[in-house]
Chains A and B, each alone.
Chain A
Amino acid sequence: MGKLWLICIASISILLPFLCNAFSPETPTDRRVLVLLDDFAIMSSHSLYFNALKSRGFDLEFKLADDPKIALQRYGQYLYDALILFCPSVERFGGSIDVAAIVNFVDSGHDLIVAADVNASDLIREVGTECGVDFDEDPSAMVIDHIGYAVSGTEGDHTLIASDDFIKSDVILGGKKIEAPILFRGIGHAVSPANSLVLKVLSASPSAYSANPKSKLSTPPPLTGSAISLVSIVQARNNARLLITGSLSMFSNRFFRSGVQKARSQTKHEKSGNEQFLTEISKWIFHERGHLKAVNVKHHRVGETDEPALYRINDELEYAVEIYEWSGTSWEPYVANDVQLQFYMMSPYVLKTLSSDKKGLYSTSFKVPDVYGVFQFKVEHQKLGYTSLSLSKQIPVRPYRHNEYERFIPAAYPYYGAAFSMMAGFFIFSFAHLYSK
């Protein structure tokens, strides 16, 4: 019995830190990350990337993709906050994981990094399709660029690409400009134009195309030019974040350490931009950046402080909301000048940009429209790279009461005057009529 007690205490004390560090709305950064590998040797060959993650406090758990014991959830609880798939050649996941399980994992707001590679398995392609990108269907196709390749003494087939066509977003790629091009070797993918959630973070140059470098090109390549995405991200509607790339080697120590010189360019960079690029983007993926929360939504009539149950038409009102951004360790004030408020009933009656005090407080004031009905205060903030904020609060607006209209209108003075002169006349007439002789 005593032994059982000890085991209980021990298991609680082991589990406790995990339970405490778990993902929560208050601290949205991921903590527990499952890394699925084709081979444990990737731990060694890609250690710089993993170490960068570990040094930021992530708890990486490495498993073989075909390990029969892996599972994403147990007893309905997810065991991990994020999943990294560095297993381009896996044909079948072990354990209870399959494509549907991964989709459910993302649907419940968890993050995912997928790296495919040349000869990526159908399974990984399917995961890509579920994420909204289509990898080149030819299994031996690679992205080739005869103009934007990386100069190398030993690489002659121009499949090692130096790309620097980044998305212009500080929140995704960090404030520091990435100077050196990114080394990429792998397969390209296309982003479906109908899908507005997928963004190309790193695009190929206009001269690139996707084909098998060893065979002759007889039909037009399915992917060409800037339409080829090398690295794409998805921010789902539930703010789950995904990274999809067609190159596993771009995460490798070799590419991290390698120098890079783009063809036809004289500048030789000591180090490729891969480390900076992938580290910065992983900060975004794991919600260390660009994750917003809105608190303290307040509205009241001008001059009052309490929130009324309803407004009357033509009331002057003030609206304020505080917005903070998660910095990985704390909530920092979010500074922007394009947060907008809508006063909405079927369509916006008022749409106004909120003014910011640079400390996270956004406020504005406006006059309630002279239309009564059930309105909503709506803040729909969607910005490239940030989680979308969607606040709405219902508020009825009533018309004037009968006694709230204007009294003693000057235009009516003649009518008043007529009535009172009549009454005065009647009073005098009553004397004249009764007592005159």
Chain B
Amino acid sequence: MPTNLNFEMARSLVGFTVLLLFLSICESASFFQPISDSHRSAAVELFSPDHGSFKSLEETYEALRTFDVLGIEKKPDVTATACRLVSETVGSSSSTLKDLFYALKANSIVKCKINDKAYQGIITRLNAAVDGASSLPDFYYSVGGLLLVKGSKGDVHLADADGIFRSVKAFRQSDGRWRFSSNSPESSAFAAGIALETLAGVVSLASPELDQSLISTLNSDISKLFDSIEKYDDGALYFDDKLVDGHDHQGPLATTSSVVRGLTVFAAVTDERLNIPSNKILGLANFFLGIGVPGDAKDLFNQIDSLACLESNRVSIPLILSLPSTVLSVTKEDSLQVNVNTVLGSNAPPLTVKLVGVFTSGSKAASLVESQELVFDDGTGMYNLNNLPKSIDVGSYTFVFEIVLHEPEHEKIYVTGGQKKVPIFASGLIKIENAEIAVLDSDLGSIETQKKLDLAGQNAVSLSANHLQKLRVSFKLTTPHGLAFKPHQALLKLRHESKVEHIFVVGNSGKQFEMVLNFLGLVEKFFYLSGRYDIELAVGDAVMENSLLRAIGHIELDLPEPPEKATRPPPQPVDPYSRYGPKAEITHIFRAPEKRPPKELSLAFLGLTFLPLLGFLIGLLRLGVNLKNFPSNTVPATFATLFHVSIGAVLSLYVLFWLKLDLFQTLKLLGFLGVILVLVGHRVLSHLAATSAKLKSA
């Protein structure tokens, strides 16, 4: 059964402490703000139905309840779908007990129309369930269901209230915690809350009334339960079940919420006053408020529902003191405003807020002001202290407030939590005077150049110094009340051209802030970098309204040359934008072609090369060359023709070699032609030789 009530995850106590610390860092102030509009907008955001309906009846109820408490206008379609879902569940006999319970709970908010017949069916079913119940959740759902039916229908009674009361009470453990069923060994505070709620239901349904002594035995159990309450440093109290491995383990929020719900419901039905210190109730309220705005729908419901229970409980109603602003300007004469509300932000009963004392943070000196009452402003509903006390200068303070209720009987109904400490920052404009910058000669300390600075405006000082000189920067800060002021941040920055930075803390000597830079001792720290240094002065504090960062000007430093082993300045970050981006394009430069003569020149010389041939031909004609020796017989004439054709073929082969043939083709053909040429040539030449020998002999 506990799995039904389960969260998805177990939360470790240590972890939750971290969260609370984290949240308290977020909130920064150790006081709690009541529920505000941010909860309302968060509720609308978190409880947003998918396609008009929520995942389960439980979630529907949680949404409706949260909207109801926060006063958020319900969307009509949400109500309509909820009603449809409710009537479906109520009408069907197969719905689970849990769904029936949540359907009735949702119905108690949206007030759907359920006919009498359905009610009769539910009453019989629930009565049967009460009789057959064996575990705490069974009792819780069935008794709770009957109570809800009674709320809308009237005349529902438990016949054997006494017996049921006793059988529920059997789950009680000696330490004030309860078990879910008789065979589960673990006891938890979560179950205690459910049990208390169930018992309260039994008491209201009992007819005739239950024996008061039976009820009053529970009083001591509740006290015991409250003994196991856990505490945070900021005063928030909560319950947590330390079940490390239990999968049904609830978080502190769900556990505390369950206890608060059970407690307030039980307190409403018992005549006796519960014996719980009212400060514990306030601690519980602080726990819920300290969570801020949860990001989870279930957490938000637990927070809002528990706060709604605390808002009107019979034990004691917590009143929350809060300040809209804890940063007050002394210069603008802001007034101190204090709000006192209930946890859900509604108005408190008539009361007076007293400022008991004001202490400087971190010191144990006596209070700076007399105790005084704050004036109530009807218009805003706030308690004001119109002028801050004269003794409050800029700085951080702890203000101590106390709430005094006007009517003595309210003391029993409300809990205010005694004195309340609130950290306040009093800020103001700081006067800056006597700002000077000077270059001093080292040995004598005499001033070489001195310039006045106007730190409120722009400055452009230009100085020069060498390593034997000193730089002095001085200024004076006074608060609006004329006292010396020491800011948290008083830094002088020297930035070299190469972006190497040097930072110095400007110290204060009494009233004056002064810093002397002896360059002789700083040469090494400056990496022997001569050149222009830009000077920047930053003065700031949390309570200084005119914190400043000013570029004063620059100083031209003339430092000695670095020795061999001097440390080099650290590398400076490269601008990320310049690191990327396209590179310059590169085109290849081709080799220039060789220089050639103009074509005409080549052609002219080509012509010239034919001149010797021409001369040769002319010479031949002049000599009277003839072909008279050409053989006249057919056979030698044929060989002579073949011989010249062969010579012509060889020459043509050379032309072809030049044009297209390669060496091997040429040689092959040349070999063939050569053989013919030799044979034919031999015949021709021998014929010619024979002819000429015949002539000679003749």
Contact = CB atoms under 8 A, between A and B. Distances in A.
Interface string A248-277: 110011100100000000000000000000
Nearest to A196: B579
B586 A351 contact: yes
Contacts of B549: 147, 206-207
Interface string B414-433: 00000000011101000000
Contacts of A227: 501, 573
Contacts of B536: 206
A20 interface: no
B71 interface: no
Contact of B325 (A64, A153, A338, A436): A153
A430 B610 contact: no
A207 B580 contact: no
B327 A118 contact: no
A411 interface: yes
Interface string A147-184: 10000111111101000000110000000000000000
Contact of A44 (B18, B294, B325): B294
A257 B612 CA distance: 106
B503 A221 contact: yes
A253 B540 contact: no
B387 interface: no
A428 B583 contact: no
Interface in A212-247: 213, 216-221, 224-225, 227
A299 B12 CA distance: 63
A62 B9 CA distance: 10
A437 B626 contact: yes
A146 B627 contact: no
Chain A: interface size category: 35 or more
Which of B547, B612, B628 lies at the interface centre, i.e. has the most chain A CB atoms within 10 A of its CB?
B547
B396 interface: yes
Contacts of A410: 596, 599, 602-603
A211 B503 CA distance: 14
Contact of A420 (B15, B16, B616, B655): B655
A206 B627 CA distance: 112
Contacts of B651: 423, 426-427
A390 interface: no
A437 B599 CA distance: 44
Contacts of B655: 420
B405 interface: no
Interface in A352-385: 352-353, 366-367, 369-371, 382-384
Contact of A38 (B15, B38, B490, B596): B15
B108 interface: no
Nearest to B486: A216
Nearest to B624: A436
B389 to A, nearest CB: 18
A209 interface: yes
Contacts of B587: 350, 352, 366
A46 B644 CA distance: 110
Given A64-B15, A428-B616, A435 B582 contact: no
A23 B38 CA distance: 39
A194 interface: yes
B591 A370 contact: yes
Contacts of A146: 488-489, 540-542, 544, 547
A384 B9 CA distance: 41
A386 to B, nearest CB: 9
Contacts of A168: 577
Nearest to A338: B582
A349 interface: yes
Given A41-B19, A217-B489, A411-B602, A349 B295 contact: no
B298 to A, nearest CB: 9
B293 interface: yes
Nearest to B648: A427
Given A44-B299, A147-B549, A340-B583, A39 B18 contact: yes
Interface stretch (B25-33, B115-123, B442-450): B25-33
A430 B602 contact: no
Given A153-B325, A193-B571, A410-B603, A207 B588 contact: no
B488 A217 contact: yes
Contact of B540 (A37, A40, A207): A207
A249 B605 contact: no
A320 B405 CA distance: 85
A22 B577 CA distance: 34
A193 B574 contact: yes
A314 B293 CA distance: 73
Contacts of A221: 491, 503
Contacts of A353: 582, 585
A191 interface: yes
Contacts of A330: none
Nearest to A158: B542
Contacts of B424: 156
A154 B29 contact: yes
A249 B22 contact: yes
B505 A421 contact: no
A348 interface: yes
Contact of B19 (A45, A200, A426): A45
A437 B38 CA distance: 134
23 contacts: A38-B18, A39-B14, A41-B19, A147-B547, A147-B548, A153-B323, A156-B424, A157-B542, A194-B571, A211-B489, A220-B504, A338-B581, A343-B588, A371-B588, A417-B610, A421-B610, A424-B613, A427-B651, A429-B616, A432-B620, A434-B688, A436-B628, A437-B626
Given A411-B596, A431-B627, 10 more contacts: A41-B251, A42-B19, A147-B547, A153-B324, A154-B323, A193-B571, A211-B489, A352-B586, A384-B579, A414-B606
Interface of A: 37-48, 62, 64, 89, 117-118, 144, 146-147, 152-158, 160, 167-168, 185, 191, 193-194, 196, 199-200, 206-207, 209, 211, 213, 216-221, 224-225, 227, 248-249, 252-254, 257, 314, 338, 340, 342-343, 348-353, 366-367, 369-371, 382-384, 409-414, 416-418, 420-432, 434-437
Q: Which 5 A-B pairs have the closest CB atoms?
A: A146-B540, A156-B425, A39-B15, A47-B295, A153-B325
